[in-house]
Amino acid sequence: MKLVRFGEPGKEKPGLVDADGAIRDLSAHVSDFAGEALSPASLDKLRALDPASLPKAPDGVRLGAPVAGTRNFIAVGLNFADHAKETKQEIPPEPILFSKAPNCIVGAYDDVMFPKDSRHLDWEVEIAFVIGKRARYVEEKDAMAHIAGFAICNDVSERMFQVKRAGQWLKGKSAETFGPLGPWLVTPDEIPDVQDLNMSLDINGERKQTGSTKTMIFSIPFLVAYVSQFLVLDPGDVVTTGTPPGVGSARNPREYLKAGDVMTLKIDRLGEQRQTVVPFKM
């Protein structure tokens, strides 16, 4: 299934994308895609529905992030071998984990806003997974059973905040709008091999990032198991898993986003995102 949340910010309804690409309203069957609504049992009930029996959402409706109620938004640094090479850093012996503020999550087509005093705004196309079943000391062989689905994530980053402001990644990763997610949450049964998906990101129609989940250092099942050794992941929590090469801060010369730039992100089977960069405003 391709699950969505549609409507104005703060008023989103749950839905699914039918075989013809139309959005169908699921609000008569589930209140939102949060918490236990993402459990395997809940998703099985939705999977049994006939999409044609569900009302259609209005044409052109806004798509919000496909998950609500996220309490942990965890990110993995330097998890693609070719990205580590371009940044001239050693392959980490264990995953590098950091947090993004959950309230930076926005829809896949929402604007990305410069934070106040930003100078070095950067892009990162990533694949994220959303937890559907509580993950606590999970074994790698059981990891996929804890995932509700996958989505594109743009790990928007302010490199000056990240690197120059006492070296804490959280500072450069958590400003409002820094977590576009979606457009859909794609359940694992729709993806034959999550470790073989092409990824790309364009700025104003020019290709900047090209990669594949094949070059991940630590696989998604490994990451589920690994993260669960340090904290409990609850349904609705999001883990974004690193980026392939081509980020602006690693280019020569370095490139950063400016107001009016349009970012277009694609991952096989997960759809497409598009955001316009806008100036800071109160």
pLDDT in tens, 187-217: 999 999 999 999 999 999 999 999 999 999 9
Torsion of CA 169, 174, 175, 179, to 10 degrees: 120
Residue corresponding to tokens 């898993």: 241
Q: What is the pLDDT of residue 166?
A: 84
Any domain includes 159: yes
What is the domain count for the chain?
1
Helix (H, G, I), strand (E, B) or coil at 233: strand
Residue corresponding to tokens 């100036």: 279
Any domain includes 163: yes
Any domain includes 191: yes
Question: Is the confidence at residue 87, as pLDDT, over 90?
Answer: no
Domain containing 210 equals 68-278
Any domain includes 137: yes
Any domain includes 89: yes
Please tell me what DSSP assigns to residue 132: -
Would you report the helix, strand and coil content of the chain in percent, each value rounded to 5?
A: 20, 30, 50
Q: What is the mean pLDDT of residues 89-100?
A: 94
Q: In this structure, what CATH number is given to the domain that contains residue 255?
A: 3.90.850.10
What tens digit of pLDDT does each residue of 157-198 get? 999 999 888 877 999 999 999 999 999 999 999 999 999 999
Give 184: exposed, middle or buried? Use CB within 10 Å, 0-12, 13-18, 19+. buried
What tens digit of pLDDT does each residue of 109-126 get? 999 999 999 999 999 999
Any domain includes 4: no
Q: Cβ(215)–Cβ(52) under 8 Å? A: no
Distance, in Å, from the CA atom of 135 to the CA atom of 148, rounded to the nearest integer, reads: 12
Residue 16: beta bridge partners?
3, 24
Q: Cβ(15)–Cβ(5) under 8 Å? A: yes
Any domain includes 1: no
Any domain includes 87: yes
Query: What pTM did the predictor assign?
Result: 0.97
Q: What is the pLDDT of residue 49?
A: 98
Residues in the chain, overall count: 282
